[in-house]
Every structure is written in C-alpha cells, then in structure tokens.
Chain A
Amino acid sequence: MLGLERKDTYLMLAVAFITLFAPIILNPFPAGSALAQFNAGYPDLMQRFVIFGIFAIGFNILFGLTGYLSFGHAAFLGIGSYSAVWMFKLLSMNVIPAILLSIVMAGLFALVIGFVSLRRSGIYFSILTLAFAQMSYNLAYSVLTPVTNGETGLQISLNDPRILDGPSNGGLPVTSLFGAEMRDSTTLFVGPWSWDFSVGYYVCAALMLLAFYLSVRIFRSPFGMMLRAVKSNQQRMNYTGLNTRPYTLAAFVISGMYAGLAGGLLAAMDPLAGADRMQWTASGEVVLMTILGGAGTLIGPVLGAGFIKYFENIFSKINDGILHQWFAFMPDGLENVMVTLIHPFIGKGWHLTLGIMFMLVVIFLPGGLVEGAQRTGRLFRRRDRNAGHVESDAARQRAAAE
C-alpha cells in the first residue's frame, strides 16, 4: 500500500490506528477515579506527544541513519515557532501558511548551519551544532528583540495587521484551519469515561502520520541506504565515487524541516514563541527521546517522545498528598517511610526517575524500547516455533505411518 512493503504497511496502519484513537486509548481510567491522574488523553498533552513525535522522527533521519549527533536541533524548533507566530501576526490566523513558512525557514537555517557544521564529524560536529543553537538562543533572547520580542516571547496582539483576516472584532483571534478553531474540542461521555476529541490534536496527528510515512519512505529509499552507508564507512563511500557531503547535508536539512514543522505546530496550538524553546536542554531532550525509543528504528523516536512527555506531564504531577493516599492502608510509621523513600522520584524529581530509566535502557537495551519489544516478541515467537516443530514432526510421522 502507498508504495510500502507489507511489514511497513502494518506498522503504518498500527500507528494510524493508535494516533486516531489516542483520545480513547490514553484515557483508560474513568474520570474521577483514583487512577484518573494517569490519564494522558487531554488535548494539550496529546498534541505534545505527536508534535515531539514529529521532532524526534526528523531527528532520527539525521542521527539514526547517518550517525551525526546534532546537539542543536532545538534551534530549528524555535525558528519554526517564531516563523509561525509572525505569519499569524502579519498574514492570517490560518495555520497552513504559518506551518509552511516554519518548514521553509527551518530548512533555510538548517542549510546554512549544516553547511558549516558538516565540515567536521563526530564530537566536533556536535559541538558546532550546539554552538549554533546557543548562538540562536542568545540572539533571540537579546539582540534580535525587535524580531523575537526577547524575554517576553513573541505573541499575537490586537493591532497586528493580519492582512488576509482583516481587523478582528473583540478579543484576540485564535488559530484555525479554514474556520475550524484549533482549541475546539468535543467531549464524549461514555458511562464514567470522558474522551476529548480536539481539532488541534487531529491536525497535529494528521501531520505526524504524513511525517511518519515520509520517514518510512526515506528509510526504504536508495537515499536512506546511502545515509546508512555514511554511518557505516565514509572512507569506502568516498572511494566508491559517492560524495558524502551533500548526502549528510540533505539529511540535516530534512531533519531541520521536521523540527521546523514541529515548532510551527507548537505555535499553531498556542500562538506564542519564546527563546527558551531553543535552549540546549530542548536539543538534549530530542536526543534522549530518540535514543530511549531506539535510534535508527522507524517507530522508536515516536515511542521515546511519548514516553518522555508522559513522564514530564504525568509523573511530575504526583505529590506527597497522593502518595499518602496510596499508602494509607499501611501503619502510620511505615506509610511515612514509604512516602519519604519515593518522594525524590516524583513531582519535581521526575527527572531523576527518567534519568534512571534512561540509564537502564542504554545499558540493557542499547536499541531502545524498540529492542525491548523485539526481544519480547522473539521470546514468544521462539515458543511458537517450538510448538510448530512438534506439530510438523507429528505430521511427518503420520505420513510415514501411512
């Protein structure tokens, strides 16, 4: 289907299914129940899942395939956001021109930054990209205030021109897709459950599916094979008549455009852009997502992005009060000990939990969560195959007997 192999088609369909029904899948616990705090099916978080999924998918095209570890991809995320907000200010609140400009601008910046950074490889490349991203961050924060509105961040306001929309009547306009407002959502109540279907989420989800599809195509293309060859042996590449530089640059620009799309979508969901989106911690986050999920795998980066965003938003909400509730069945002394023990890992300490999980994954599953899933799958399949042998043996004996 769509020029994909059967295995990839199944993967694509599975991802599409999960994305489309995410509002239901991510809200498994009835609203109001004790476990409802683990529900992740609210629009704001789901949008983050898919937007950072796009960011990580793009990052994986560079890092997973070519092995070039960029530590500055958040710069493109930020550039995407600023471009989108400017589009909202100048042209229209429709998200399409905004997103298009985000992708184009991020691509242009990636072309320049990549052209310079890709003259070096390994750690020097990482440092160069990091330096560029920090430069962008500092420029956005101070020098370029007329463009970026510095510390406050770039926002839309009532006296923006918005050429296509005309003057707004009343309050601040909201981002929309041909009239369908991004923040609109319908809530469906089924028994004790409630599911939010938001326009914004589905716009992001559709774009993520498109981004994912394109990444599968790139992985299976001759171009993708060349990128893997770059990672494997650049010397052999050169002596095989292939110029590695444009290959890596193309991968860098494509992944920059993915980051720009993600940044544009962030702004489309909430039309403001701040310099902190470009900071090095944000660049580091996408590295973590990709490695945690499985660098160089198709689905890994999306899993990693979902995993980290879930932790960031759900684990960080658990506080001591909730812990006391959980351990209320214990004797008082023991309850306090338990709460004290777990306290550093929750709430603001979620980074600690994430750090430990990251270490465990890197040490025991170098291929990330995807490798974990594959190992589990292989375990089951081996059992199946053994069962199959027994059956075929039995069949052979029967045939021999006859």
Chain B
Amino acid sequence: MGILEVKGVNKRFGGLQALGDVNLSVKENSVHAIIGPNGAGKSTLLNCLVGKLIPDSGSVMFDGKSVLGRKPHEINQMGISRVFQTPEIFGDLSVLENVMIPCFARRDGAFRLHAYETVRKETDIREQAEAMLEDVDMLDKRHMTASSLSRGDKRRLEMAMCLVQAPKLLLLDEPTAGMARADTNNTIDLLKEIKAKRDITMCIIEHDMHVVFSLAERITVLAQGTPLVEETPENIKGHPKVREAYLGEAQV
C-alpha cells in the first residue's frame, strides 16, 4: 500500500478522454516519476491530485484518506506540497517572508485572524524560515524582493517554501522545463540533496529523460491518458512498449 494510491481515475474534457482508467501507486519515501509524450495527461493527473481538477470517476487516496472533493489548501494541509512548472512565489514579498508564510500556514492552519500580533516578534517562525534558507544556500538573499531573484534562485526558493512545511509528498511539475543543461544539473543535485536529508516522497512529472533517469526509483509511463508500464529505470529503457509510445520519438 503506497502513500498515494490512484485507482481507476477517468477525466474527460468534452470529447477528449484526458485520463482513462489510471492506476498509480507511489511508495512512501520513494522518488516516482511520471513520464509520457506531450498530451499524455501528465498535468491533468497532477491537477487531479492537488484538487485543481476533480476526476469524473475513480479514487485518489493519500495517506489513507481520500483527497477527492477537497480544495487545494485542504490537500496541502494534509501533507502534499506542489512545485510548479514556472516557480510560483510571492514576487512582491521578501525572500524571508516567502518562507515565513508557509511556516505560518503550518502552525496556524488555513486561516487565523492574527491581526494584532507582530511579525517581528514571531522569532520561532523566523528562525525556522532562516534555517530553511540556510539549507538551500539562500540566507544571504533573505532581504531581497523575491521577484528580483534569478530563475534558478526562484526555483530554489519555491522548493524551500514547500520543504519548510515538511510535506509527506512533494509533487514536482516539470521542475527543469525550459532550463539550460547546467541549471538542470543544479536542480537534479538540489533534489538529490533534499532527498538525502529527509524522509520525503517525491512524485516528478518530467519530460527530460536525463532528469528522470538520474532521480527516479520507479517510473510510470503515460500515453494517451493511460499508464502503459510501471517499472524501474533500468527496465524502462529497454521496454518495447515504451519505446513505441515515447522513446521512439527521442532516442535515449
């Protein structure tokens, strides 16, 4: 029984069957990648996991509880954090504030009217956020406005914001999309480092084979909304079905 269990999920947009009977099981503390050609339904699946989309049928269980019908903030409070394709951060706020907000969310829940307290006096939250920034080597940038960071730093910041919540599952939506090779390698190193330091389950949606093969322990291949195979990276490389559906276009 995995930490994330997807069973028989279907999602249809008008005449398009985006997801057809998807089954997926992500083991706790593993790195699981979902790959597939464009339009295979990777993003649709991810959106079903975080509450942005509701599947037409099927079940999504996380940590023994159903996530279906819950709002994104409720699913996050259950322990699922999400990294976006383009980093989603609070651009107008300082780097430190960016990391303090998830700390508040973790301590105070989805809403609290703490209007008469003072941010400056929240030393616990501040220390927690600074320790996290130290961890991703961004402590010296804590007073910068987040929007002025480089793309790579924005990605680091977004990871820090997700990790400081100590999520049980981290979902990554094409974390290296549009990056140069050097940046991609940095991201891979960052993710490896993160994985080495803590107990966390990662689920990566990725296009880039290099990333997938350097990180993933299990790989699920999606094609036209249906999972073709679920295997270890070694077995995926030579799998004929995968070659046909996906690798045929881009030789590895």
Contacts and interface: CB of A to CB of B under 8 A. Distances in A.
B118 A243 contact: no
B106 A5 contact: no
B73 A226 contact: no
A52 to B, nearest CB: 23
Interface in A185-223: 217-218, 220-223
Given A222-B104, A240-B165, A247-B111, A217 B90 contact: no
Contact of B89 (A218, A221, A233): A233
B97 interface: yes
Given A241-B76, A241-B110, A233 B90 contact: yes
B88 A233 contact: yes
Nearest to A67: B92
Given A241-B77, A241-B105, A229 B90 contact: yes
Given A239-B76, A241-B73, A222 B122 contact: yes
15 contacts: A217-B116, A223-B113, A228-B93, A232-B91, A233-B90, A237-B73, A239-B81, A240-B76, A240-B102, A240-B165, A241-B102, A241-B105, A243-B73, A244-B73, A246-B110
Interface of B: 50, 71-74, 76-77, 81-82, 84, 88-93, 97, 100-102, 104-106, 108-120, 122, 161, 165
A388 to B, nearest CB: 22
A245 to B, nearest CB: 8
B101 A229 contact: yes
Interface of A: 3, 5, 217-218, 220-226, 228-229, 231-233, 235-244, 246-247, 250, 254
B118 A217 contact: yes
Contacts of B105: 240-242
Given A217-B118, A240-B105, A240-B161, 9 more contacts: A5-B120, A223-B112, A223-B114, A224-B115, A241-B73, A246-B110, A246-B111, A247-B111, A254-B115
B118 A240 contact: no
A59 B91 CA distance: 23
A220 B119 CA distance: 6
Given A5-B120, A228-B92, A232-B91, A240 B101 contact: yes
A238 B81 CA distance: 10
A235 to B, nearest CB: 6
A125 B3 CA distance: 40
A237 B76 CA distance: 10
Contacts of A3: 118
Nearest to B81: A239
A34 B151 CA distance: 61
Contacts of B108: 222
A312 B92 CA distance: 35
A367 to B, nearest CB: 13
A221 B116 contact: yes
Contacts of A250: 113, 115
Contacts of B50: 239
A61 to B, nearest CB: 9
Contacts of A224: 115, 119
Nearest to B125: A222
A341 to B, nearest CB: 44
B166 to A, nearest CB: 12
A254 B104 CA distance: 21
Contacts of A232: 90-93
Given A222-B117, A223-B113, A238 B122 contact: no
Contact of B72 (A226, A231, A239): A239
Nearest to A4: B118
Contacts of A240: 73, 76, 81, 101-102, 105, 161, 165
A111 to B, nearest CB: 13
A73 to B, nearest CB: 19
A220 B91 CA distance: 18
A239 B116 CA distance: 25
A102 B119 CA distance: 31
